[in-house]
């Protein structure tokens, strides 16, 4: 008797296990490579600090606000004069790491997961988040608003829902390919923000956003080094959205329709689902979650940078696919997608701490994308071959009967 086929959860677990093993092997290889070619540790570390300033936060400005530990401060003091663009740096706080780096990527991952499961690919959410939070923040700055952060969230959500509906109409009503639509809207959002709005970096943000970015649930202190790490209040927002979306996907007809559309639009339509409305609502939800992520990122960075979130889409999609979400839609687990994104964040941050150059980090991210999509595609092909073989075996039996 032929054994039963493994369930989707087991396939997702095997998928993630393969990716983790490959990641571990690749990371060990990169570590050995780094040890082998390591030279001038002090200068190398200085360059890493300056590279973080130049690429991650402020590409070509004179001053900024950053977070460093004691060792990084010493290296920065020794090497800051080597950088042609950085003239002064404001040390806001000295601590060991970034505040829960999964919050913003996690919110992006939830949106990317909804689109992938429905059979599409969205690459516009970073540009959408940047435009919506920029509009909301500039409006509050120009009006001199000094109230709470709720108005910033409300304005960003309103703009994000409109921009998400813009994508949804082209995908749901006009039935255009999702990749083409979102790729085009990415340039539309970026061009509107940088051209029509003449976007510029704002070193000062509204008081409510600033206080929200500094608010914490609790703080942990290393008794040996004295360095601290904090759990921001924004983590509760991420957790609430994650739980709400998970419950929606599991227990509501709308959640089931998302998976059904990803499996087969024709079958979903015959089953009674409103395919067009579902697609529009999916992209509206993605716009809302991306806008919330944008407000959280600006609040935690304590400054408004219009292009800081651009370029995150491939890393988010890679993490979602690594977590077992089928690139063709219809199959996937929200928990697996979150685990895949967390794996990407941990590995990239570890490579930064190891001092691996940016070029190699890009190579690694690209390799993860190829591995993840390759394993996902192999699972789809293997499943199709299994169904085809099963049908071929069933046909002679039916003919003989």
Strands 216-221 and 228-232: antiparallel
Task: Evaluate whether 230 touches 318 at the Cβ level (below 8 Å).
Answer: no
Residue 223 — very low, low, confident or very high, per pLDDT cuts 50/70/90?
confident
- Mean pLDDT of the region 356-382: 73
CATH number of 8-40+100-381: 1.10.3470
DSSP strand E in 203-317: where? Answer: 216-221, 228-232
**Which of residues 370 and 299 earns the better pLDDT score?**
299
Burial grade of 347 (CB within 10 A; 0-12, 13-18, 19 or more): buried
Note the pTM of the prediction, 2 decimals. 0.75
Q: Which helix (H) or strand (E) holds 92?
A: strand 88-94
How many angstroms separate the Cα of 361 from the Cα of each of 42, 239, 367? 21, 29, 10
Q: Is the pLDDT of residue 25 over 50?
A: yes
pLDDT in tens, 57-100: 333 233 333 334 444 444 444 444 434 333 333 333 333 333 44
Residue 400 — very low, low, confident or very high, per pLDDT cuts 50/70/90?
low
Nearest-Å Rg of the Cα atoms of the chain is 23
Report the C-alpha gap between 339 and 319 in whole angstroms.
Answer: 8
Residues in contact with 338: Cβ distance below 8 Å, sequence separation at least 6, in sequence order: 102, 106, 109, 242, 323
The pLDDT value recorded for residue 101 is 64
pLDDT in tens, 34-58: 444 343 344 444 455 445 444 443 3
**Which of residues 134 and 224 earns the better pLDDT score?**
134
Q: What share of the chain is helix, strand, coil (3-state, %, to 5)?
A: 70, 5, 25
Report the C-alpha gap between 216 and 296 in whole angstroms.
Answer: 13
- Mean pLDDT of the region 227-244: 88
| % of residues, the chain, pLDDT over 90 | 44
The pLDDT value recorded for residue 270 is 93
The pLDDT value recorded for residue 334 is 93
pLDDT in tens, 301-353: 889 989 889 888 988 988 898 888 888 888 899 999 998 888 888 877 777 77
Task: Evaluate whether 84 touches 255 at the Cβ level (below 8 Å).
Answer: no
The pLDDT value recorded for residue 367 is 80
Report the C-alpha gap between 58 and 8 in whole angstroms.
Answer: 43
């Amino acid at each position: 008797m032929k054994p039963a086929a493994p369930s989707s959860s087991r396939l997702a677990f095997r998928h993630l296990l393969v990716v983790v093993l490959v990641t571990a092997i690749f990371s060990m290889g990169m570590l050995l490579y780094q040890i082998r070619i390591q030279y001038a540790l002090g200068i190398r570390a200085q360059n890493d600090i300056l590279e973080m300033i130049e690429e991650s936060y402020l590409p070509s400005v004179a001053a900024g606000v950053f977070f460093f530990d004691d060792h990084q401060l010493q290296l920065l003091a020794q090497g800051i004069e080597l950088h042609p663009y950085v003239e002064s740096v404001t040390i806001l706080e000295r601590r060991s790491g970034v505040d829960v780096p999964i919050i913003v990527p996690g919110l992006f991952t939830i949106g990317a997961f909804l689109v992938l499961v429905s059979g599409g690919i969205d690459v516009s959410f970073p540009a959408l988040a940047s435009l919506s939070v920029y509009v909301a923040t500039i409006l509050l700055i120009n009006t001199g608003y000094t109230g709470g952060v709720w108005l910033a969230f409300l304005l960003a959500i309103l703009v994000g829902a409109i921009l998400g509906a813009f994508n949804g109409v082209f995908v749901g009503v006009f039935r255009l390919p999702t990749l083409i639509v979102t790729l085009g809207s990415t340039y539309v959002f970026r061009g509107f923000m940088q051209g029509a709005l003449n976007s510029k970096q704002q070193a000062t943000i509204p008081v409510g956003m600033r206080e929200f970015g500094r608010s914490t649930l609790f703080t942990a202190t290393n008794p040996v080094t004295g360095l601290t790490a904090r759990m921001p209040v924004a983590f509760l927002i991420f957790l609430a959205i994650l739980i709400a979306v998970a419950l929606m996907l599991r227990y509501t007809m709308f959640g089931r329709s998302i998976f059904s559309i990803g499996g087969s639009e024709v079958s979903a339509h015959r089953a009674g689902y409103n395919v067009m409305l579902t697609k529009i609502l999916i992209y509206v939800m993605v716009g809302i979650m991306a806008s919330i992520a944008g407000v959280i990122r600006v609040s935690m960075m304590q400054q408004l940078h219009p292009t800081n979130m651009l370029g995150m889409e491939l890393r988010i999609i890679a993490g979602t696919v690594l977590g077992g979400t089928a690139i063709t839609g219809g199959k996937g687990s929200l928990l697996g997608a979150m685990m895949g994104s967390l794996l990407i964040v941990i590995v990239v941050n570890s490579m930064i701490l190891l001092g691996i150059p940016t070029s190699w980090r890009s190579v690694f991210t690209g390799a993860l994308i190829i591995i993840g999509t390759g394993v996902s595609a192999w699972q789809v092909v293997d499943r199709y071959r299994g169904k085809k073989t099963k049908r071929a075996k069933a046909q002679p039996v039916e003919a003989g009967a």
